[in-house]
Amino acid sequence: MEIVRIILGIVYFLATGILILNGIHRYLTLYRFMKVKDQGIPPAPPTLRQPIVTVQLPIYNERYVAERVIRAVSQLDYPRQLLQIQVLDDSTDDTKDRIFELCQELKAKGINIQYLHRDNRVGFKAGALQAGFMQATGEFVAIFDADFVPPADFLQKTLPYFANPKVGMVQTCWGHINREHSLLTKMLAILLDSHFQVEHVARNRNGYFFNFNGTAGIWRKECIIDAGGWEHDTLTEDLDLSFRAQLKGWQFVYLPNVVCPAELPPEINAIKSQQFRWAKGSMQTARKLLPRIWRSNITLGQKMEATFHLTSYLPTIWALYCSIFVLPAMYLWGYKQTLPIIFVNLLLFALTSVTFYIFFEVTQRGVERSLFKRILNSFLLMAIWMGLSISNSRAIVEGIFNIQSEFKRTPKFRIEKKSDSWEGKKYVEAKDLTVLAELVMVGYLIFTFSFVWKKHDYFLVPFVTAFIFGFGYVALLSLRTRLKKAMATIRAAAFS
């Protein structure tokens, strides 16, 4: 029994140590953000010429949103003779027929639009981008995913920054078409806002690496070539290319004032798929590039920030462990013998939970006036983040050990109004097996809660309650999707 106590204690303190370290880093990110947030947007140099621009639209089975993004790009405020549009279509369903006809319609109107269809998905999105890149005529390449609706003045606002020959990429801010659709989309919007409104600003304005987000950005073609082009050995080809380019000395510019509206995933399995890809891809990129980063001649501060950036999902797996460890800790040591653990938990609370609330409270100030609602939303977001931890932990492990898997794109359903629904639509996935583990965790944590309450360890009650809510909410949404999918299948069979 003693050896079990020692092993569990070592792993627990290792987990909490990593979480505390990441909490300190989040405080540091907030400090960096507050230091530069009032500096304003860097002024754009005067534009002396209008270069040829290629716009790439990677698409895979997007019957609901493909037409929207193609029409939006065709209306960009830029001379037609200087604009090349590439529709990079890997679709295997009726999407390819729909957008082929649309491309023919736009081409007849004098728009330089090319429909490029691949019969295979070699390299997935990175493969499609690289295949299109080989035929790109533009000096600059803008990229938009199928769920985005770029504003007409996108090129007018981004191209001037390339007057500086050292600038290799300009990233714009993501907006949210369907932020108010549900509690889930609202929480996801806050999570993404923290990345675009706080982290990107803190990194870019303080001279640290930040990344192209796969869409709503524009590259200098020479920069892509110099960095080695699009590679598909990770699930986050955008993150990979970004760091390779910056290690080559290219500068990136972030424009938080230029907003590209996009559709948030409204369904839990779509969010799981998206988060899984980002978590696994970031760990794959860390595995691939961290040795190169630490061997490079960039500053120590840049190396450390890059390490936190590429391993940002790693605390998820340790938070999951800590939630599981509460019950064994109390059983093995008892209340009096866990005073050191209680002290660590207090430190953990101050450096993780509190900074979590502050971080997302700052993020919401532009859209939510009520302080109470901002704090409540932060609590809900933390709980949902924990609810996704089983799926994300699996992704982290696969990323660390480089276990290969298919690139699963996030399905979109053209949810633009609160009344719009994804139910009964194609692409809804309901095969996610992590829901079983989530339900087991709910039962386990309810038992943990009763044990904690019985032992009068009320300090742990808020943590365990948040875990129960997070796992329970995510599990219920997953079960709801399964039920809706089954009902849609039954209705389709009945009317066939």
Task: Give the residue numbers marked as catalytic.
Answer: 90, 238
- One DSSP character per residue, 347-368 reads HHIIIIIHHHHHHHHHHHTTT-
- Nearest C-alpha neighbor of 281 from the set 315, 246, 320, 233: 233
Count the helix, strand and coil residues of the chain and give each as a percent rounded to the nearest 5. 60, 10, 30
Count CA atoms closer than 13 A to 455's CA, side-chain side: 20
Q: What letter does residue 496 receive in the DSSP assignment?
A: -
Q: What letter does residue 300 receive in the DSSP assignment?
A: H
- Nearest C-alpha neighbor of 217 from the set 164, 256, 264: 256
Our CA angle for 75, 77, 80, nearest 5°, is: 80
Q: How far is CA 246 from CA 57, 157, 195, 227, in A?
A: 24, 22, 19, 8
User: 263-302 b/e with 16+ CB inside 10 Å = b?
Assistant: bbbbbbbbbbbbbbbbbbbbbbbbbbbbeebeeeebeeeb
**H helix runs in 165-267, sequence order:** 183-193, 200-205, 221-227, 237-247
- Nearest C-alpha neighbor of 330 from the set 458, 457, 443: 457
Q: What letter does residue 230 receive in the DSSP assignment?
A: -
- Rounded CA separation 470/120 (Å): 38
- Rounded CA separation 87/331 (Å): 59
Of how many residues is the chain composed? Answer: 496
Q: Which two tokens stand for residue 77?
A: 């405020």
- Nearest C-alpha neighbor of 242 from the set 252, 232, 234, 233: 252
Residue 116 pairs in a beta bridge with: 88
- One DSSP character per residue, 67-80 reads HHHHHHHHT-SS-G
Q: Which two tokens stand for residue 76?
A: 């960009």
Q: How far is CA 475 from CA 63, 73, 199, 430, 489, in A?
A: 28, 38, 30, 12, 21
- Nearest C-alpha neighbor of 410 from the set 213, 272, 231, 262: 272
What number of other Cβ atoms are within 10 A of residue 413's Cβ?
Answer: 24
Are 409 and 125 within 8 A, CB to CB? yes
